[in-house]
Each structure stands twice: as C-alpha cells, then as structure tokens.
Structure 1
Amino acid sequence: MEDARECSYLFCRQRRRRRRAVDERIWDVLDAFRDTEVVTAAELADRLGVTSRTVRSLLSRSRRALADGGARIESKPGTGYILTITDAEAFADLKEARGAVDGTPVTAVERRRYLLRLLLTAQDYIKLEVIAQALFVSKKTVAADLAQVEPILAEHSLLVDRRPYKGVRVIGAELDIRTCLATVYDPEHSSRFAVDDLEPGVGRAERHVRKVLDAHGIPLADEAVRSVILHVAIATNRVRAGRTITGEVIELGQYVTDAELGVADDILDRLEQDLELSYPLQERYYLALHFAGRRVLTSPADASDSQSIVEARRVVDGMLRIVDEGFGLGLSGDDELRASLVQHTIPLLVRLRFQMRMPNQSLERIKQSYPLAYAVAVQACTALARHLGRTVSEDEAGYVALWFALALERRRPEQRRKHVVLVSDADGAATRLIELQVRERLGDLIESLITVSTREPVRAQPDTDLVLTTVALETDPGVPVLDVGPFIDDADIRKIRRMLISEPSTRIDQVFSPELFVPHLDARTPHEAIEVLTQCARTRYDLPAVFLDSVLRRETLAPTDFGNRVAMPHGEVAMSEETFIAVGVLDEPIRWTRNLVQVVCLVSISTREGKDLQQFYQDLSRYLMSEEHITTLIKSRDFSAIVRSIREITQQPQEEA
C-alpha cells in the first residue's frame, strides 16, 4: 500500500497526459536490455512480475511495435533474447518521442536533474525501485544517477540518507535545500516534467516582484530580478508544503536593513492576498537577504550596517595581506582599493553565507583580459573561504578581480618612450620608407630611431630597448630583436607596438625548462600530480620544506582548474628564489575540482619579484587558455611544443591571439 501511494505521488502528473506511441509494458521489455546484452525469458518474467506466457505475448507485441522503430528483438537459441539496433537514428527518435509526450526525462542529464528535484521536494523516503518505474529505467541506472547527484547535494551541505526497506531522502537545512532547488529549476535546460509544478508560482511571483521593484525604484539587473522571482516561487511552494524556515537561521535580521525588509514585506503582502497564504516572519527575512546580497537599497556607510562594515574590513585586511604575501604587489597600501573591496564585500558575505548565486556572464572575458587580476582575486578569496568555511565560486572571484584590475591599472607607470635601432640591408629608399612608417605610426612610443647598415657591426647602446632588423644578425646585441620584412605592413607594426609597450619583470619563456617537464605524468588525483611536480622542481631548486603543504592548502581553499583541461596550482605565498613553472602532461585526464584536467602547471613566483607581473600573467594565460596550443602539447608531449607556442604568443599581438 505504501509503495502504491509513492507510485501515485510520482505518476500523478504524468498519467493525465500519457499518450505514448509505444505501450508502457513494451518499454519495460526494452529497459530490460539496458544493462545486459542477453535476457532470458525467465529473467524477463521475474523482472516484469508476469508469467512466461505473458512474456511471450509482450515479446510478440514488442516486435510489431519496433517494426518501424529502428530495432528488433531476436531469439538466440539456448541463450535468450537480444536487442539489435538496425537504425540508430530511428530508435533515438522513438526514445525521444517517449519523453516528449509527458516530459519524462530521457537523457542522463535530464534524469539527474529530475532526481534532484524529486529528492529535494519529497516528504518522506522514496525507494529506488519506485523512482526507476517512474523513469522507465532499471534500478541500477537510478543508483548510478544517484551517485552523480550526491556531489551536487554535498556542494550545498546536503546528504542522502539511505534506510533499508524505506529508500532514500535528502537531509539538511531548509535554506540549503532551497538554494539547491534554485539550481535545479532552470527553464532553459529542464524538461517540463521537472518544472511544471513551479511554473504557476513563477508567474504570480513575477507579477508582484516587478511591481514592487518598480514602485521602489530598485535598480536590479534582469538576472538578479529573475533570481528573486525564482526564490519567491520556491519559497511559496515550500510554505504550502509546510516546509518553512524556522530555528535553522538565528538572528537572520542582523544581515538585512529596514529598507530591504520593507521591500520583502511589500512583495509577500501582495502574494498573501493573492494566494490566501501566510508567510512567517523568517520567510520575510529570507527574501530580504536576496536584496542584502546585492546591497542596492542602502550605502555600506549607514550606521545600521556598522556590524557588517567591521566584518568586511577585517576580511578585506586578510585578503590584501594574502595578496601581498603571494604576489608582493604592495596593494595593501592602496586605500581606494581597500574602500572599494569593503563596499563589495558586505553584500558578498551575505551571498556566500547563504549560498546565493550571482552568475558572472563576463567571467571568461575577465580571465582573458585581466589574468593577473583574476589570479590575485582567486588568491584573495581564500581569506573569504577561511572566514566562512565555504569555497568562493569562480563567478564571485571574477567580480572581485575587476577591483584588482582597476587598482593594477592605476599603478601602471606612465609608458616610457623607447630607443630603437633599425638594421637594414635594403637600398636607401626602402630603408627610408621603413623609418617613415615606424615614426609615423609608432612615434608616440619612440624616443629615438637610429638606422645602421649591415656593413657596420651592430652594437646596441646602453639605452637601446629594441633592435629591428631585415636580416639575420651574426651577433647577439644583448637586447630584444624583432625581424621585419623589407616592406613594413600592419602585422609588423602591431608586433613592434607590442614589444615597445611590454616591460615584463619576468619573461615567460625564461620560466619553462626541459628539466621541469614531465611528458607522462603518472597521477590519479590532483594531490598526486602536485606531489610529483614538486619533487621534480626540488631537483633544480632549493624549495622550503613547507612548499608542498602550502600548495595543497591553497588548493583546498580555491581550486585552480580554470578550464581548457589545465590546472595551475601554486603556493599561498612566494617561496622560491627563482620564478619557475613545472609542467606535467597526464596520460589520461583526471577530475580536478570543477573540470577535467590533463595539463598541470605548478607555478612558483620568486620572492624577489616586486615589479609589475601583468605581462607575465597575460602571456601565461594566453598560452594556458589557448585550445590549439594545449591540444598540440597533449598530442606531442614534447617540450619544444611549449617553446614554439610561447614564442608565437609573445611575438603575436593580443588581437591576433
């Protein structure tokens, strides 16, 4: 009887719309072939709970139903039955039609999202067998999906509780359940099967939320408004189900202002009249938190927010101290940066404390355009992670990076005009044209341009910054050299401009070495990969005993897999005499934290670095984020591939990357 009630709970919405082209029982037969190639009649009878005679009848009906469905069931004498796919595209269409009628999840991703929603909203334990019946899959498939779902729940401090003969359920704080639900209800990716119970609430919530925000003149971006609407709809469903926020959050009011609470009251008062539903006081504070997480109604300087200011200042002090220890940039003395970070951190602490997501649509552009600022921000966010015991997302690190980028730009010294020597074997007119082109298009960057003939020995003066040459030089002038053609084109001008404005304290090509390259890195976990590369680095550098522990601690606070199959672990502080990068290529990719990784770059910044590292990180980022260069490295596993790529990048203008 209990299982019947559970089935009714799961199927109630489906059965009202069920018009399946293929009979349900036939799908039961097909699902028997999911986990095995051969199925006997006895196994089918046991699995379906029917007699052998019924099995024969079902097989006969299945063959007829699949005649145009791209598959057939064949009898294998002495063994059993096998399912043969004769037309993969037709069979895929048949399976898709199965789910299209009633929104039943078909793909693994859809099943997992549905499983998350089901577990988060269930009132009691649910048996895996019941879930399998609802999804038309095997219990083994559901168990495999559940194994994939558990890490997602764990990210929100939720656990799956298993009880023999009762099933599974999610346990955790109500706020954590709601935050996790918000990641599941995604109309762009969820099937109707997963969100149809929420849609009416979303529509009503949107009407009232937008009216109140307009009335108060609150400048929230569309993404933020949609987030508020979604959370209001989820809260409404939870309150209807009797799952309200109670004693799990103590003194919630300390994180919100009167103005924020007033807006939340207006929204929920309207909904109470519309829905004849009562929202407890804690629900009102919970909604107010979404405005506090963006802090658009009040200034952080308000006296009512003094406790938040004190906390934010303490956290920002830690952020800047960690950055100075790790990068030696001296940013702790930047009062403007400190004030901006304090203002940004007040609502950020609310978002982190209550796991409120604020997607960053510009994240990838921030990584590419401000690589040093992003690296600094990730390091700085470890102070937040320590303070709250929660990992800071890449999205939030990206927002913090913008403040560091602004500070780094303010610190950038005024561009010094350069002294250039041109070596040319062209005739007088051609050489004169090169001079005119360079002076006319790059005059703002050049202090002097001296031309010498190839008949003269090339001797760079002490103040020479760059040598341009139309021929191969027999001797090294001791300064950067750029080969140009006898006729300067736009590409040459861009290359020259890049070299004139680049003044890195550490040249990217100098930090890689063949001794620190492991073409076949033998590691199955991030810990093992970091340990092997650290041992490799010790063969060349005298590293402190705490180096490995520092890198591993840093990794737990903020992961360094930034995408493109690359991870860039590094220590909490600068600890080596020289800046170096140890590179390892894994034979098979491993799961790092967020992404699969196959190239690991252990980076250590010299304790003697004190200049601007912007260009160093710019070049390093362009290399590590280049799909073409990383693919070449993985395929070749040759150190020369790194050399060629770095040379190409450092001589290639940014816009051509």
Structure 2
Amino acid sequence: MLNNRTIAILRELLIVDSAITSEYLANVIQVTSRTIRNDMKELETLLSKYGASIKSIRGAGYKLKIDDDKRFRKFLLEEFQSEKLKPSILPNSPEERVHYLMKRLLLTENFLKLEDLADELFISKSTVQNDLKDVKKILQTYDLSFDVKPNYGLKVKGEEVKLRFCMSEYVFDRIQTEYDLHSSQKSLIPIDEMKMIRAIILEQIKENKITLSDIGLNNLIIHIAIACKRIIDGNYVILNNEELKDVTNQKEYGVANKIVREIENRMKVVFPETEIAYVAIHLLGTRMIRHLNNKSGDIQNYIDKDIYRLTMEILDSIETKLTLGLKDDQELIVAIGLHLKPAISRYRYGMNLRNPMIDEIKSNYPIAFEAGIIAAMVLKKELEIDIDENEVGYLALHIGAAIERRAIHTEPKRCMIVCASGVGSARLLSYKLQSKFGAKLEIVGTTEYYKLNEVPFDSLDFIVSTIPIKESLPVPVIVVNTFLGGNDFEKVEKVLEERKHGTLEYTKKELVFLQEKFETKEEVLYFLGEKLEKLGLVDSTFIDAVFEREALSPTSFGNLVAIPHPITQKTDSTFWAICTLQKPIEWSGKRVQFICLLSIEKNSSTYLQKMYALLVKIVEDIQIVQQLLKCKTYDEFLELF
C-alpha cells in the first residue's frame, strides 16, 4: 500500500519520460536524498507485484519501467480511487485545492506547468486555471505574484521576506502544537531540528527575561525553520540600512544574535546579519512585561506618552460608539497600551501575526470584536495603519477580558424606602434588607409618601414601600411588611436578579421576517435595508454603511448567526431587525440562517452592555437558534423570546 510520500514519488516518475535524480525528488517532496533512496527500495518491492519496476541508471537517476500495462493500470486505479486513501491524498474541494496549490508553488524553486498540476490533482486544466485565480488573490495580499514563462509554466515571485511570511501561513496548519511541526510530508526540516530550535529559543528568552506567548513561540520556531531552509537555498531577507539600525539598537537584537549563533553551531548554517535582525523583529513583536503593577500611577512608566494617548483615544471611541463602561479600566489601558507598541512594530516591518483563535473570538466575543474593529479605525485615522482581523482579534481578547471583569463586579441595584410609620421603622427595614442582600443592594435613602415627587427616579432601580402606591412611577414598586415577613425577601430577590432590559425592548413585529427564501447575504441586507427605510427608521445611506462594515471583517459569527450593522451609528434609536431563512446561505465562508441586523442610536448615552449580553446569549445557544429557525409566526417567535 502506498503512503503519501511514495505516491508523490510515483507521480513524479509517471509524468517524465527521462530518468530523475534522487536529489530532484528530494527537493520536490522536501525530504533527504537518503529518504528517497529508502523509499525507492520500498516502491520497487511493491511495484514488482503489479507489472512495473524502477531502474536505477548511474549518473542519471531513477526511471519507471512498465512491463504489464494492464496490471499496472489496475493497480493505479485501486490506489487512487480508494475511498479510504483519496480524501487524504487528493484535495476534493476548491478551498482544499487552493491550499494544495499554495503549498506546491511556495515549496518549489522550479516552474510548474498547468498540465502537470492538473495531472497531480486529477482535474481539468481549466479547473486549475480557475483555482489559480484564487491563489493569485492570496499571493497579492503578500505582494507576491506569478512569474509566467512560456513552455515552462509558472512559479511565485516577490521579495524574500514576503515569501517567508506567506510560507509560514500556508506551508503549516494555522495552529501548531508544541512539537506538531513535522506532520506534513512537505515539512521543511526534521522534527529533531525543530525541537532543538525550540529549546534554544526557550533557553535564551528565559535567561534574558523576555516572555513569549505560546503562539508567539510557535510563530518564531516556524519562521526560523523557514529561514534555515531558504538560507540553504541561497535566499536572504533584505532590510534597508535605516530599518537595520533601528533593530540593532534594541535589546532583542542581542538575544536574537545569541539564538542565531547557537542555531548556526548546531545546524552548520550561516545567518547573514539581516537574518538576525529578522529574528529580533519577532522578539520585538511579542514583547511583554512581567509582574506589572496595574495602579494608574504606574501606567505611564510602562507605556510611552504617544502610545498612552492613542490607547485613550481608542477607549474613548469605543465608549462613544458602544458605551461599554470600560474607559477607566486601568488593567485594560495597560493591556492595550502594551499590545499596541509591538503591533505597530509588526505593521512597520510587514509581519503577519497569525491568530489561530480568530473564529472562536468572533463567535464568543462578538461585541469585543466590534470594539476591536473600532480600535482598528482609530489606528487607520491616526497612524494610517491598516491592521487585519488577526490583529483585531488579539485586541478583542483584551477587551473581552475587561467586559468579563465588569460583569463580575456588577454595580449594585439602587432602591429607596418609602415608610409611613416613621424614621425608626424605615431604618430597621433598611438594616434588614442590607443584612440580607449585602453588596447586591444599595439603599440610597428613605422618604415619606407625600415626598415621592422629590425622589430622583432616574438614579433608582426600584422602590421598597410599606404602603401601597397608587400613582404610576417610572420604576417598579415592591410593597412589603414593615418587619419583612412572608415572601417579602423573595419579592426583592426577584427584582435584584431580573434583567433591566428584555429582548422585546429592541425588536417589534414589523422588524421580524421569518422563513424567507433569500440565497445571498446581499439579498438579505438589501431586503432589510428597504424595509427599515420604508418604516422611516433609516435613511438611504444606512445599508451602504452596513456593507462598509462587512468589508472590514464579516459579521458571520458561527452557529448559523450573522449580526450585520453599520460601520458608524446612523439611527435615532437602538433596534434589532431579525430575518430567518428556510435554508442556510454562504456568508463570507460561513453558513448563516439567522440574521440580526443591529443598529445603535447615535450619541448613545445608555449603558448597552445588558443588551449585548442578551444578544450574545442568543448567538451562543445552539438550541435557541434552532428553535428560532423553526418559528413560522411572530407569536411563536415572541413566545420563545
């Protein structure tokens, strides 16, 4: 039975008439010549049973000889059409083929013909041409392009550093475990050498008190592995003198130099100075400070004034647009300030920081991710920096942590006591309530019934009264006994636990559209935009602002849910327009069937975190979404909500 590597060897032998060397095969398949020679023995033994053999020709290499055409064809058919093997050998979707082609093109120094690629993938030449259009788009994001040579085929061309970044993204899986960097048949260097690189890095960063995240460490291992491979091939990173001077002046350059010298000694490869600077950029780009004291007085000891100003501008913008109440969170100020400096450094040097958690962040912290998008807009405005959604995702993690912290330290509910039997009774009632509910409840004072018109209701959550109150008040009234008996405590408990806002505050019958038959996200958004415009809730610029936000980063969050919204506040009220579909549609790479078009009122001063929490609860709960998708009438929908 063939394995992935022997299949690759056999494929190469099949597509040439002449002999090919073990060095050539070693380069194509990314293994050593010795491994190829061992594989050839295994392949020769196997093929001898199926009417074929491999001839070794001195000075020329290996050539496939087919003696029994019928037996050999039957063998090939069984191998390549096996349902067990086929999925692991041949990519069978456009996305998988594009990924395969990216790897194939990035790992070869030779020109590749379309016909050969079509044969490898068992597809037509026109299908390969279509797939290569997508490959070209991906390459363009790294400033790479195709070098096309008539009669020879094509290969990737561009700056070495850009090739390196692209390889780190597509040669390896997006997330690597500690030692899981050698799993691909196209691995760059042996697993033992990967482990050695890791050990050298850990030793040096520990000695020099530099902290790397797990992801940062794996990124650095990958990039050094790629550097070793490409230095051996004679390819170097080029940094200009000014960039080089900036890096060599940093502490991290000295650490990078030690890491590189150790790798040179162990692997017998010579790194030029620019390559050392390249490693230093990785250490700069993941710099963190340990044992940080988060008191506000210490913040500017760790963050320079320009970064501090930028951080505060970001938090002001987030507060203006989302009113999350995080502007004065000292821990968040420090976290974002420390994150921004290396993020700006990464952008300056064109580095791609991969974020393997991006889908989970968007799914679990949609509001925090939205705050990250707002941060990206501030960076664009202030520094003309375009950060991608990977970086936005890391910012969102810091913001999500701050949201969680705020939820833990929720402010107590505020009440006032109305008591008809005098100050003594009112105080007794106050002490009993405070003793029972502690930090959950803040009693702001007591008052007589006749002074109710003087009560500041806008600062209260409810009233506790020992007498019935007939007037309609803007807050709930709980009538209790002066000495708190029966179910009085339960009544207060219920008010303390219940949400201040409910779902029905944000949506109405005329904003709910069930079981629609749309096939694209554009159809859905134009439909909802038109309905909202007819109701007078939005103007003609609203839907364009929604598409502008989608272009920054898709709002499909997983679990069949999308929460589109305009890039800036466009309406005078906060509302949800909901649309469910009979069948899921494709929405920027994810399946979507439940759409909640969200609009936040302009210049909102209302604390909206409860509304966001409610929205996230719906988005995250698979059962709720499934039930909502089954609803055929507004009454069913209403009952579920």
Q: Tell me if both proteins adopt one fold, taking TM over 0.5 as the criterion.
A: yes
TM-score (norm 1): 0.67
* CA apart distance, 1:346: 0.8
Match of 1:277 among 258, 269, 273: 269
Alignment check: 8 A CA contact 1:418 1:446 kept: no
Displacement of 1:287 after TM fit? 0.8
Match of 1:194 among 181, 186, 203: 186
Q: 2:607 aligns with which of 604, 608, 612?
A: 612
Residue identity in the other structure for 2:388 = T
- 3-state SS of 2:315 partner: helix
Tell which deviates more after alignment, 411-420 or 382-391: 411-420
Corresponding residue to 2:398 among 397, 400, 409:
400
**Aligned match of 1:624:** 619
Map 1:153-302 → 2, pairs under 5 A:
153-160=139-146, 162-183=148-169, 184-186=171-173, 188=180, 192-195=184-187, 197=189, 199=191, 201-247=193-239, 251-254=243-246, 258-296=250-288
Call closer, same or farther: CA 1:465–1:158 in 2, change over 3 Å.
farther
2 CA distance for matches of 1:328 and 1:388?
A: 25
The 1:202/1:134 distance shift into structure 2, 3 A limit, reads: farther
**Matched residues in 2 for 1:113 and 1:466: separation?**
63
Q: In the alignment, which residue of structure 1 is the partner of 2:107?
A: 121
Aligned residue among 543, 554, 563 for 1:559: 554
Q: Check conservation: 2:247, 2:253, Cα contact below 8 A.
A: no
2:352 is aligned, of 325, 333, 356, to 356
Distance 1:371 1:390, change over 3 A: closer
Bigger shift: residues 438-447 or 164-173: 438-447
Q: Could you say what secondary structure the match of 1:543 adopts?
A: coil
Contact 1:384 1:392 in 2 (8 A): no
Deviations 1:139-182 (A, max 9, x none): 56655654554554455444445555332322343333222222
Structure-2 change in CA distance of 1:366 and 1:392 (3 Å): closer
Give 2:428's aligned residue: none
Residue aligning to 1:651: none
Provide, for residues 80-129 of structure 1, a one-character-per-residue CA deviation record: whole Å limited to 9, x for no partner: xxxxx9xxxxx423547xx7xxxx55665776544322211322421133
Quote how far apart the aligned CAs of 1:277 are: 2.5
What are the Cα deviations for residues 183-230 of structure 1, in whole angstroms up to 9, with x where unaligned?
Answer: 232365985322154646424422322332233233334433222212
Inter-partner Cα distance in structure 2 for 1:525 and 1:248:
47
SS in 2 for 1:193: coil
State the distance in 2 between where 1:189 and 1:466 align. 63
Answer with 222-231 or 308-317: which moved more: 308-317
Equivalences, count: 542
Measure the CA separation in 1 of the matches of 2:120 and 2:491.
62
Q: What's 2:567 paired with?
A: 572
Per the alignment, residue 430 of structure 1 pairs with: none
Further displaced range: 154-163 or 168-177: 154-163
| In 2: Cα distance, 1:512 partner to 1:24 partner | 72
Aligned mates of 2:401, 2:30 — CA distance in 1: 51
Residues in 2 aligned to 1:365 and 1:554: alpha-carbon distance in whole angstroms: 18
SS at structure 2 position matched to 1:562: strand
**In structure 1, how many angstroms separate the alpha carbons of the residues matched to 2:409 and 2:305?**
27
User: In structure 1, which of residues 550, 559, 564 is the aligned counterpart of residue 545 of structure 2?
Assistant: 550
- Indicate conservation of the 8 Å contact 1:340/1:403, yes or no: no
* CA spacing shift, 1:367–1:158, aligned 2, 3 Å: same
CA 1:549–1:259 in structure 2 vs 1: closer, same or farther (change >3 Å)? same
Please tell me the residue identity of whatever aligns with 1:192.
S
- Residue 312 of structure 1: aligned partner: 307
Is the partner of 1:603 in helix, strand or coil? Answer: strand
Pair 611,356 (structure 1): closer, same or farther in 2 beyond 3 Å: same
- Mapped to 2, the partners of 1:552 and 1:494 lie a distance apart of 48
Tell me how far apart the structure 2 counterparts of residues 563 and 27 of structure 1 sit (CA, whole Å). Answer: 51
Change (3 A) 1:632 1:335: closer
CA–CA distance in structure 2, aligned partners of residues 495 and 145 of structure 1:
65
d(CA) in 1 for partners of 2:512, 2:532: 9
Between stretches 346-355 and 334-343, larger displacement belongs to 334-343
Does the residue aligned with 2:556 lie in a helix, a strand or coil? coil
On the 8 A contact 1:257/1:292 being kept in 2, the answer is no
- Report which stretch shifted further, 10-19 or 579-588: 10-19
Amino acid at match of 1:171: K
For 2:385 and 2:535, the matched residues in 1 are separated by 38
Aligned partners of 1:532 and 1:24: how far apart in 2?
65
Q: CA deviation at 1:550?
A: 2.6
Instruction: Indicate how the Cα distance of structure 1 residues 283 and 527 shifts in structure 2: closer, same or farther if over 3 A, else same.
Output: farther
Superposition deviation, residue 263 in structure 1: 0.7
Q: Could you say if the C-alpha distance between residues 586 and 26 of structure 1 is closer, same or farther in structure 2, counting changes exceeding 3 Å?
A: farther
CA offsets per residue over residues 321-356 of structure 1, 9 Å max, x none?
Answer: 532442245766777754542222112223445343
- 1:290 Cα shift? 1.1
Equivalent residues of 1:323, 1:376 under 8 A apart: yes
Q: Is the 8 A contact 1:578 1:605 kept in 2?
A: yes
Cα gap change, 1:130 to 1:63, in 2 (>3 Å) = closer
Q: Are 1:517 and 2:512 counterparts?
A: yes
Structure 1 residues 203 and 417, CA gap change in structure 2 (3 angstroms): same
2:578 is paired with a residue of what secondary structure? strand
What is the aligned partner in structure 1 of residue 336 from structure 2?
341
Contact 2:569 2:601 in 1 (8 A): yes
Is 1:10 the counterpart of 2:28 in the alignment?
Answer: yes
Query: Cα offset for 1:240?
Result: 1.5
Instruction: Go from structure 1 to structure 2 and tell me whether the alpha carbon gap of 1:274 and 1:464 turns closer, same or farther (over 3 Å shift).
Output: closer
Number of the residue aligned with 1:378: 373
Distance (whole Å) between structure 1 residues aligned to residue 134 and residue 499 of structure 2:
48
Report the equivalent of 2:448.
Answer: none
1:390 partner SS: coil
Match of 1:92, SS? coil
Distance verdict in 2 for CA 1:366–1:307, change over 3 Å:
same
* Residue 534 of structure 1, aligned match among 529, 537, 560: 529
Change (3 A) 1:641 1:398: farther
SS in 2 for 1:195: coil
Report how far residue 545 of structure 1 moved.
Answer: 4.2
Asked whether the equivalents of residues 212 and 266 of structure 1 are also in contact (C-alpha less than 8 Å), the reply is yes
Deviation at 1:256, TM superposition (A): 7.4
Q: Secondary structure at the match of 2:155?
A: strand
The runs of 5 or more residues in structure 2 that have no matched partner are 1-14, 53-65, 419-432, 444-456, 465-471, 479-488
Equivalent residue, structure 1, for 2:387: 390
**Greater shift after overlay, 235-244 or 541-550?**
541-550
Distance 2:593 2:48 in 1: 44
8 Å contact kept, 1:326–1:572: no
Distance in 2 between residues matched to 1:362 and 1:116, nearest whole Å: 21
C-alpha distance in structure 2 between counterparts of 1:627 and 1:154, whole Å: 37
RMSD of aligned Cα (Å): 4.9
Query: How many Å apart are 1:561 and its aligned residue?
Result: 2.1
